[in-house]
Amino acid sequence: MTWLIMVFILGLAVLAQAVAPGPVWLGQVRFPWLMGVVLYYAMDRQLYHGLLAALMAGLLQDAMTPFIPMGYSALCFMAAALAGWGVSRFIASGSAAARMLTGGFTGGGLIVGLYLLLVRRGLVEVGFWMLAWKVFGGMVLGALCTVIMGWLLARLDKLAGNLEMEQVYDGI
């Protein structure tokens, strides 16, 4: 059931990310719903859940984008999953604040990581301030999406019986 929910929610997340435009005042960064899913599985479930969610999320994001070579987003999402897992395991777990901070920093980190991979191949032309603006946008939206996705998925998992009652994320 975990895998079914993961695939379903990743499909919904990529559609939401593709359809809803990013706000211009946050550097036109898309709402990182996929990252929210990845971080939930990395922070609240096992590491391999997070990594496999990252692989699928990366595949979907790269497939839906004309320029990005396959695997780039998956690499970034996996790094995000590792970071999320590390935070939940060694620093703080469960609280909404920890999740929000992790989402924020990971959101900004994803923008930088993807930018470095893309600029190496000459695929993006973005100035320093535009990049900084995008990173800021990524942090704000990352924090938001991670908390919303965490809340939503925890309840879905609870309904499906994938989580014990006491394990359910109760950050909000």
Nearer to another protein, 125 or 164 (CB): 125
Residue 64 CB, shortest distance to another protein, in Å, is: 4
Residue 22 CB, shortest distance to another protein, in Å, is: 5
- 2-19 vs 128-160: helix axis angle to the nearest 10? 140
Residue 60 CB, shortest distance to another protein, in Å, is: 7
R_g of the chain computed on alpha carbons: 15
What residues make contact with another protein under the rule CB under 8 A?
A: 11, 14-15, 17-19, 21-25, 28-30, 34, 46-49, 51-52, 54-55, 58-71, 73-75, 78, 114-115, 118, 123-126, 130, 133-134
State the amino acid at position 169 in one-letter form.
Y
Residue 65 CB, shortest distance to another protein, in Å, is: 4
Nearer to another protein, 71 or 95 (CB): 71
111 CB-contact burial (10 Å; exposed 0-12 / middle 13-18 / buried 19+): buried
